[in-house]
Each structure stands twice: as C-alpha cells, then as structure tokens.
Chains A and B, each alone.
Chain A
C-alpha cells in the first residue's frame, strides 16, 4: 500500500517531465505552395530565379536503360533531396554530388528538391555565390535537359490556408499536421529526432527549422506560442523519412 502510494506520487510529479508524443496524421500536398514554374533547357541557379534563399524543385523526365544509373551534378548549393517517381533515393550536397539511382529501365520523373542553406563566406568558391542547382547534370554521363523549375514558398507559407487530408503514408516532400493537448502551458522543446529537413509552425505561427545533420535536434517552443488544451502543429518535410511523430521535451535535445 505504501509502495503504491509512493509510486503514485512519483508518477504524479514526473508526468510533466515525461516526453509527450505528438502524432502528425494529416498531410497537405506541396503543390499548394508552388510559385510559378519556369521551363529551361538547362538548370538555373536560384539567383536567376530571383530567389535569395529557400526551396526550389527541379524536375525532368529521365530515361534509364539499366537497373542502376548514376546521377551526377556539377553544383549542389546546398542540399538536394533526390526523388524518382515520388520515392526518396537519397540526398546530395556540394561534397557529395553523385548518387546511384536504382530503377526499372524506362522513363521516370526525376525530382530534385533543393534548399539553400546560406552563402559561401570563405574559401576558393567565395566569388561564386550562385545558389540552387546549376552547371551540368548527367545521368550515366548523358546530360539531362528540359527542366521544369518551381520555387516553393515555404517560409512565408500561410499554413492555415493549406488543405490537409488524413494520410500517414506520404513519401514525398509535403506538409504534415497534427494536434496535441496540453494541460498546462510552459516553455518546451520540440524533439524532431528522426525527421529529415524542414520547418515547423505551431498554432499557425512559424517556430523554426530543423535538419537531421545538425547536432541539435530540437526547437525551443515559447509558452506564449502554446495554449492550454488543443494545439495544432504543421511541419514541412523536405527529405521525407516517413516519420509521423514528434515529442515535446523538457530539455533541448542534442545527438
């Protein structure tokens, strides 16, 4: 009896400290955030699209003759999630500009979702501050041409206008939505461990960005951005790791 009571006390006092899990069980298509597309025979850097920073989708049709093909880019500024027919094949950076694509021979849609992290501030490339994708792009040595290039309005997206539907199996970059209930409101940290790269809104207010490559795996959430009761979270995910839960954590999360 005494033992149960003590245990009960411990549970009572520690409940708020335990991580609260949030399920994001609705998705909204990224097309809703597309800005006018540009067609171009060759890749165009973001600078030529008048984009200072943010996300751009580069799409083209590719033909493969064997089951594996090597995609190689001349410039990746700074991060690209590679999808073929809506399935994630991997990511590219300026240090890793080649990737093997396993596909059945035939025609496929190649989609490169690119994020510009920042500008080069030192080193030999300093004079070249083009962003996005530019220069040559080849598949097994053959130049890929005829691109549809689509800037995506993510950071300033009015997320409350997005149309969501119940879906937890999305494999492409998209917006996720979930709700979570809070019995009391205080500063907390959103643990994004397991997610790829993206941005987060809580109750329609932008709260921050994340990337799995960072050591910090949490975003601080101010008490003022939360409400007692039901809260809504929207997440934009670029490299869809097909995760659909996040957690609230008392302390910042580092890996």
Chain B
C-alpha cells in the first residue's frame, strides 16, 4: 500500500513538471513556463562539477516560478538582528537549480527556439539534458537563451536552469540592482518566463527614432536570417494610437545572416508629441513576410514609442525643444514587501501616480535599471527617467572582466529600453572613481549608439567630455547641493549651476526622521523584517522613553517636511538649475537605515504631509517668495519678493496675484494685490514685491504670508512676530536669574525659592545644538551632534507666551543655534525636558536644552541657551525668556521631579 502511494506520487510529480506543448499552426508560438519547477539548492556550489548533471538527475525539491527563494523560506534562517538594514529572514547566495522536462513539438522543426526569462540575478545558465548550452549574465535586461541548436523537435528534454546570484564580477556591493540594503540580492526568476519558437527569418530588434520637426520616425530593423539562403519579401509597418492609424510597407532582401533595414515613415500632421503633460503613445508593429522561393516565413514584432526628442539645453534638459525642470526622486529599488523590484504594471503605475500626486516628474534609478513595466508606466503617465548600470564607487578602477561586463550592459540597456519616451537620461552609475578614460569611453559609445537620450559619465564625480548633463553636489563653480533650509529664502543655486552642461542637484534633502515603530508589523509577510526597529525600540524603552517613540517620530517628521519645503523651493528659485533629485520621498531601508521619507519603505504615507500640501511647493507651477528672515519684532516690516516658477506647458495669461497675511486661526489680517500680468512658462519669473508693516501685531504670534496666482496656485510661509521684550531676566527676591550655579544660586534653592539658570553654552558639557535633524542617518554618518530635531512639550505652561508647535519651526533657529544639548539620561525617568532634543535612534539617550526640577528644596529652571549675545537681534529668544519669566513668577511653576544637585554640577564646566 505504502509502496503504491509512493509510485503514484512519483508519477504525479513528473507529470506536474512535464510540459507538453500543443503543436499550434502559428508561425510564432510562445509557451508560458510559469508554474511548478523542480528545485535544488546548491550552497556548496558543487553540483555543476558533480556527476549529477551528467546523469541527468531529477531535482528533488519543488518551487513555484516566477518567484524567489525567499518566497519559500529557502536558505539560511537568519538569527540576527541587523542594525544597518532590514533583516532578510532567509538568506541565500549561491547557485540554485530549477528544472523541467519539456517536450519540443515536432512541428517546431526549422524554427528558432528561445527560452526567455524577464529578470533574474545574476548568471543564468541552461542545461539541456546533460550539457550546459547557454549562459547569460546581464543584470538589467531579460535573459533570452537561444536553444535552437540544442533541442530536437519531437523530443522531450530535461531542461535544468542554474541561477547564480553571487557577484559575477568584482563590483560595488551597494548598487541597487543587488544590494541587501534595499531590494535584496534574491535568487529566482521573475516576470515573464516562456519558451518562444519563431521562423528562422525574424525581427531581432526594432528601434524607432522620432524626428519631431519632420513629423516622421526612422525605423531600424535588425532581421536575422538563419536559413543560410537569400530571402526576400516585405515588412508592413502599422502605427496606431488614439484616433490614429497608418501603415507602410517596405521591401526586404536578406542575403546575409543579419540585415539592417532603415525606413523613414512620415506620420502626417495628426501625430502628437509626447511629454509629461501629454504622454501620447503610439504602437508600431512590423509584420515581416519573407520567402526563399520554397518556404514562407513570417514574424511580427512591435514597440511602443512617443514623439519626443531630448536635447542638451543651456541649463536645462530640452524635451521637444522646450526646457523642462526636473522635480525628481531618487529611486533605490526599495521594495521590502516583495524583496525585489516589481515587474508588473500595477505596482509601477502606483509609483508613477505617486510621483504625479506629489508634483514630481522625474525618477533617477540610482545604480540600477528598472524592468520594462516601469518604463511602460512612465511612458503612460509622463515621468522622465534617468537610468543607470549597476555601477558605483571603484567600479571604474581597471579590471578588464568588469569593464567588459559594463560594455555589454550599456548596449543591452539601450537596445532593450531605448524606444521608451520616458527613457530621457542615461548615466553610467553613482559616484564613480577610477579610470575616467573608461567612463568617457562608455559615455561616448552610448551617445553614438542611441541619440534618443542624454548621457552623463558619473553622478557627482569627475566630468568627462561626452557629458550632456551633470548630476552633482557641486560643480567647479561651487556647491549645487541643497540638504537643508534656512530661515531666509532670498538665495538660490543659480551661479553654481551655470556651467557648460545642465546641472541637476544630487540627492537633495536626506533629513532623518525618528523611525515609526508602528511599521514593524507591516513586515509580517515580507522576506525582510525591521529587526533593527526592535533593537531601537527596546533601547528606547530601556532608557525610559518608550512612550515617546511616536512623539519623536511626529516631531522629527514635521521638521523634515519643513526642511523639504525649503530645500525644494530653493531649487525651484534656481532657474539655472536643471532640477533636483530628492533623496528621497520614501525611506531608504539600508546603509544604516535612513528614514528620510515622507513615505515609508512601502511607499505608504507616514501621515506627515498631504500630497495637496506638498504640491504647494513641488508642482509644475509654484508660487515662491524671497524674504530675509522668519522672526520679526513688531516694529519691523516684512518684505517679500514674489516669484512664480512656471514649468507647466503654458503661460499664465492675465494672472491675478494676491498676497495676504493670516494669524494662526486663519483670520486675514492684511492683504494686497500685485500687478496683474502674464507669466511666461519655462522659467522662474519675478512678479513683484510687497511689504507688510507688522506694527499692529502686539502679541507674540505665528503668522502666515500667503501668495496666490489666479486663486489656483497657492503657497504660504510661516513667520513669527514678537513685541520687543525689555528688562528680561530681572531677578527678584523669589526668582534669581543666573548664568552660573554658584553659592547664591544654591542658597536661593535651599531657601525654597526659584533659580533660573541660563548657563553660557560654552560652559555646558554636552552636545552641539543645531536646528537641522541629522543628515541621512546616524549609523552611516556618525557626525556629531547625532541628534534628529527636538520634541517641544508645547502643552507645558512654560510656553504659554511663546507660540510653538510640538516640533521646531524656523522661529527656533536663533534659539537652537545658540544653545547646548545637555545629556540627561541619568536623571529620574519622570523628568522630561520641555525642550527635549531627540537623540539618534541607535543611542536613545535623554537629551534636553531646557528643563525644570526640584533641587535642594527649591525650584530650578535650566535653559542652556546663550542669553547675552546679540539679544537685540534675537526676537524669538527674547520671547522665550519672556514666557519663562511669566511662568517662573507665577504659581504655575511647581516642578514635580527632584534631581540631585550633583546632576546640575555634572553638566557645568567649572
């Protein structure tokens, strides 16, 4: 009985993995190979050299394809909690074997037979029965194995595929085609996988080169003829689009095994251009009918294209001869849900729609090239791509094998994706060092091969002669990076951007947010887990602040949002900049883990800013305002110089321009108009200046200056207005103001009275205080002071007369730049500083600039802020001191937590 079941199971198993192909009459036949495959791991890398292939052994496991080993918990079950990245639950790197028995129909005699895998990592090799017959090691394009000479129609073959995801060349381990930092270095086969049979005279390649002036396309066909005979016939092109259809036939004569045919097709006046605003797409199909007098051959191939040309402008990329300004995001293959970049249209469509939703028109694929579906969806929605090879760092140092890999890869990318109108920019890779003659060689080769894109040698490194644009933090004229904002806005990056090629600001932003531990649960069904978050969370809890995790996330997140508004507006004010690439709208889960996004790694909103609010400062049309500062005394005048960034597809005729000032409740306090005018597009235009006297503002408050264009384009900026606070820090019998903790202070406390201690920052041990939250992340860049913004306990009565949110905004600039951060971890857990600085999440110490406590029976308030220097220029610090004064002299001031005097002495330099 047992024996019978086993036999039954065995035959079931074989049937399952055996494909019998229905012999169809069609000239081209595609057979889907997805489904169950035989499978075996080979962690010891021995099968290839063992006797198993020679004996044609049946693999003993099973796997569903398309898929990756992680989907089936294959590999080393990681017991670790990686701190610098998400942890892959099951790690696998090595050869893995996949197998199927396939009967090749007898009717396929004379056809070319290919086995096609849309995307795999990195080397795929195919064994037909006992022999290895084909090997391909592209990263960025499909693997199309030609099996014609190795399979026999009418016979069943055991096809064994070896996928080896080890690094086949000595390339940088961080590139986003492979890295464990973002999409993992998976092993498997993804996307379409099929067996293809075509007639021996077939179209290997179709490339379409638009000419917008002439309203024509030049079509270039590569026809392969494996008949060894001369053939002739015709190719019928059909071009179709919305309300458009056209066909043209050309004669085909092929005497050799490879023939190139070029034809110019006039498209007529109804053809429409493609760009971000009108992504008009057309399909060209080519039906090839040939014969060698005895046998007829037929093949069809099609491609999608758009009528668009890209050129190098003076400072901008030109699309159809019009300058575009790139508002982009750096895309790093962040897909933790699947552990690999998606290959389906729906997933990529979601990303393109998110780009549009957040006002962007550009994606830079950092050190990788996405699959076809990404291009398809960008074509459809009008997103401009920069794509790169898996190249980074020292990859240009001499290594012929590696060089040859890149020489093949660039050609493959251009051939595979060159028709897509969304493929606007090509760059070899990221921040490359080494031999720049090699970089120039690749760049010049690309320009020669395919003029449909602009080329650049490397981001942010040495320029080469063939560069047509340059993505960098700096040019030889100075920095073009913008990583952070300022409390004033009358600045830009024009001078520094104005070099011999268009310049795109590299990896803008990068402002770190405290992790949102709520995300831990989102990884339940992913190949990776946020075990680093668990470590951070446990540390925070151990340090007595577990309940503050969400507040740290919210406060640092709000700061990142206002930094990104400032960063993006600075780059929009830079009319001579070709654009920016934000790093990034979504989190980067490696390189130490960089939660810099307003979206999480799943591209879901963190709830920090709505797309509508984001589009106020990132969109084709944005109202901009240049002003000198954010914090004012009420005897000053706000002066604004208004500009309109208009990189939409039309001018704004008779634009009505309004400004108005509101208070925090939204009530309009003042308003006015600028001169109605027509605002040109493709530029940033000054539209007028206005002043607002602030003398009516008697109470310290936050106001907003608004600017609108035709009531449609709106933007606003927070300013703070304060009365002049005279006679601050006046000691009374009850309240002693001091900068030193001396006998007088101790006596005052011992008498049960109040001391306000404002030590000079250089007399305080502790960290430097800065306005900005940490750059990128504290694990990769361990740059002091390793803080990520402040949590302001706004509900505390100490802030009653100082308008503030729970997070810092630009009014905090002069306070934080003149302060020192006190290490407070050793104080009682209940003590929470009212100005609480957020420590890096791999350290989680309690930090503060201002706190209150019971000391020696008295009441102490400490503010580690310089209260002496330039006070007449620091309205916000004055107001904070006023609020503190009102507080400490009221009955509300009753510190609850007692601390030892030794703590106070511990942070003061004697």
Contact = CB atoms under 8 A, between A and B. Distances in A.
Given A216-B463, A254-B464, A208 B476 contact: yes
| Residue from B465, B780, B782 whose CB has the most chain A CB atoms within 10 Å | B465
A121 B431 contact: yes
Contacts of A209: 476-478
A215 B478 contact: no
Contacts of B32: none
Nearest to A206: B478
A214 B477 contact: no
Contacts of A215: 436, 440, 462-465
Contacts of B392: 122
Interface string B400-439: 0000000000000000000000000000000100001000
Contacts of A219: 476-477
Interface stretch (A61-69, A123-131, A146-154, A170-178): A123-131
A127 B476 contact: no
A209 B476 CA distance: 5
B499 interface: yes
A52 to B, nearest CB: 11
Instruction: Place the interface of chain B in its size category.
Output: 20 to 34
B465 A122 contact: no
B781 A129 contact: yes
A195 interface: no
B393 interface: yes
A252 B500 contact: yes
Nearest to B776: A121
Contacts of B498: 220, 222
Contacts of B475: 208
Contact of B476 (A129, A216, A254): A216
Interface string B151-175: 0000000000000000000000010
A75 interface: no
| Residue from B174, B465, B476, B782 whose CB has the most chain A CB atoms within 10 Å | B476
A208 B500 contact: no
B647 to A, nearest CB: 22
A189 B780 contact: no
B690 interface: no
Contact of A129 (B465, B473, B783): B783
Contacts of A118: 473-474
A220 B393 contact: no
A189 B476 CA distance: 12
A126 to B, nearest CB: 6
A199 B500 CA distance: 18
A206 B478 CA distance: 9
Given A129-B783, A222-B498, A254-B465, A122 B476 contact: no
Interface string A113-139: 000001001110011010000000000
Nearest to A209: B476
Interface string B330-361: 00000000000000000000000000000000
A207 interface: yes
Contacts of B781: 126, 129
| Residue from A122, A207, A209 whose CB has the most chain B CB atoms within 10 Å | A122
A214 B464 CA distance: 9
A220 B496 CA distance: 11
Contacts, number: 51
B477 A208 contact: yes
Given A207-B477, A215-B440, A189 B500 contact: yes
A210 B463 CA distance: 12
Nearest to A255: B465
A122 B477 contact: no
Contact of B499 (A206, A210, A220): A220
Nearest to B439: A215
A210 B475 CA distance: 10
Contacts of B393: 122-123
A120 B243 CA distance: 55
| Residue from A129, A209, A219, A254 whose CB has the most chain B CB atoms within 10 Å | A254
A118 B781 CA distance: 14
A208 B477 CA distance: 4
A215 to B, nearest CB: 5
Contacts of A214: 462-463, 476
Contacts of A252: 465, 500
A209 B479 CA distance: 11
B500 A220 contact: yes
Contact of B782 (A123, A127, A206): A127
Interface string B822-841: 00000000000000000000
Nearest to A189: B500
A129 B781 CA distance: 8
A252 B463 CA distance: 11
A214 to B, nearest CB: 6
B455 to A, nearest CB: 14
B446 to A, nearest CB: 17
Interface in A205-237: 206-210, 214-216, 218-220, 222
Nearest to A117: B474
Interface string B508-532: 0000000000000000000000000
| Residue from A118, A121, A129 whose CB has the most chain B CB atoms within 10 Å | A121
A220 B431 CA distance: 23
A219 B473 CA distance: 17
B478 A208 contact: yes
A207 B465 CA distance: 20
Interface in A236-255: 252, 254
Nearest to B464: A215
Interface string B457-482: 00000111100000001111110000
Interface string B482-505: 000000000000000011100000
Contact of A126 (B463, B474, B780): B780
B678 to A, nearest CB: 26
B750 to A, nearest CB: 40
A210 B440 CA distance: 19
A218 B467 CA distance: 14
A219 B780 CA distance: 34
A216 B440 CA distance: 12
B45 to A, nearest CB: 27
Nearest to B436: A215
Given A126-B780, A214-B476, 16 more contacts: A118-B474, A121-B431, A208-B476, A208-B477, A208-B478, A209-B477, A209-B478, A210-B476, A214-B463, A215-B464, A216-B464, A219-B477, A220-B477, A220-B499, A222-B498, A254-B464
Interface of B: 174, 392-393, 431, 436, 440, 462-465, 473-478, 498-500, 780-783
23 contacts: A118-B473, A118-B474, A121-B431, A122-B392, A123-B393, A126-B781, A129-B781, A129-B783, A206-B478, A207-B477, A208-B476, A208-B477, A208-B478, A209-B476, A210-B476, A214-B462, A214-B476, A216-B476, A219-B476, A220-B477, A220-B499, A252-B465, A254-B465
User: Sorted from nearest, which 10 A-B pairs have the closest CB atoms?
Assistant: A254-B465, A216-B463, A208-B477, A252-B500, A208-B476, A220-B499, A220-B500, A209-B476, A127-B782, A215-B436
